[in-house]
Amino acid sequence: MAERLAASLLPAAASPSPSARRATVPAAASFPSSCSARAAGLRLRSSRSAAGRFSKAAAGRRGGGGALRVVRCMAASDAAELKSAREDIKDLLKTTYCHPILVRLGWHDSGTYDKNIEEWPQRGGADGSLRFEPELNHGANAGLINALKLIQPIKDRYPSITYADLFQLASATAIEEAGGPKIPMKYGRVDVTAPEQCPPEGRLPDAGPRDPAEHLREVFYRMGLDDKEIVALSGAHTLGRARPDRSGWGKPETKYTKDGPGEPGGQSWTVEWLKFDNSYFKDMKFLSQLPSEEQKEQDLLVLPTDAALFEDPSFKVYAEKYAEDQEAFFKDYAEAHAKLSNLGAKFDPPEGFSLDDDMSDRPADEKKEEAAAALEPVVAAVSTATSDDNNGAAPQPEPFVAAKYSYGKRELSDSMKQKIRAEYEGFGGSPDKPMQSNYFLNIMILIAGLAFLTSLVGN
């Protein structure tokens, strides 16, 4: 399989674009089978030949003589391009069902962080280093070359974003599109620039350590995460499958995976393995109560690190809670995912920026509307200033500016302005003159009132 994958990659290699942000990674191809890769960061076996052969071939096509040609991309990402890339990722998810492997891509790029190392990029973390061959060949990253093939066309379309941001954007979007919580992400991560900056192998979790609970703490404590965050992040096993021919874990296929979607086969942790909810904890709680022999007969996967969540007293508190309360799980997961995505990252600007509330990331048409709205007070001031020098004519009314009646900092939308104008004119007023009193109507109302009172007195 690895040989066929390598062969399929070679023809796809293309010449680099003129953009200063291109780096050496695989070109475009649609691989639904990549969706079978698991969503959590467990050690998987890989064939190193696929990534190695492709990298050498790509370098040869670039005239690199067998060495990777590295292009530096050290600037922050463009917010508008990130928003457009997010829409493209949503389209990709709808057609390839690659939610699990995109989650895993972001996790494995950031999960190499070591809080005991201060220097960047030696400390590891979310820096885009996973695109380089040395890290891609780590055993725990088996199959992630498929994720790079899926995501690279989006990077080509939006060269002003970094790989580090793109990996984390894809991971968070996959969670949200699978029905998970909104992740409070920030962006502006800087990319590493050379394969020599990749972290050493061995920093990611293993699926079957001798002491699963202790191993999880050793790995995640090194990142600065705690027991609650370990359990919450483990809940991402609600997505994805494991395949025995890749990771050594799971069944070749089950009744839940034999028909796909994507490439059939593998064993999932949950029945609906492309839906993000708290079913992982519900299923693990049920399976943990069965004898080991009966567990093996089930079609759902339970790894030693999964079982540890209901065996370790500290982990069990959170696992039991999440099995009963999906809202609590979503809240804790969103916070833990966002924290994981920032580990080790170097931001430009240093505080990063959000795609949801940062003003700089709005589309160009919105920026034009706001610029026009900002000019309205200037136009009004000019009109007022020239009204006294109008050849004796009556002063011109001040133009209607809805922002004068708004309590917020932003201009009202055009639809809101039209609504206010329509309601005002409906009562007889207009932006150009005050509403006049209707004296005839007032007199008629008064006469009718007197007649009513006279009738009452007569009765």
- Distance from C-alpha of 78 to C-alpha of 157, rounded to nearest angstrom: 13
Between the CA of residue 117 and those of 28, 123, 202, 350, what are the distances in Å?
36, 5, 16, 19
- Distance from C-alpha of 360 to C-alpha of 358, rounded to nearest angstrom: 6
DSSP helix/strand/coil, 386: helix
- Which single residue is written with the structure tokens 């393995």? 273
Length of the chain: 459
- Cis omega (within 30 of 0) for bond into 153: no
* Cα angle: 248, vertex 50, 67; to 5 degrees: 140
Other C-beta atoms closer than 10 Å to the C-beta of 184 total 15
Instruction: Pick the catalytic residue from 108, 138, 215, 237.
Output: 108
Does residue 83 contact residue 91 with C-beta atoms inside 8 Å?
no
Between the CA of residue 359 and those of 44, 78, 362, 410, 412, what are the distances in Å?
41, 12, 6, 11, 16
Residue 242, strand partner residues: 267
- Which single residue is written with the structure tokens 């004119």? 425
Q: Where are the beta strands (DSSP E) in 213-259?
A: 241-242
User: Is 138 noted as a catalytic residue in this protein?
Assistant: no
Does residue 175 contact residue 183 with C-beta atoms inside 8 Å?
yes
List residues with catalytic annotation: 108
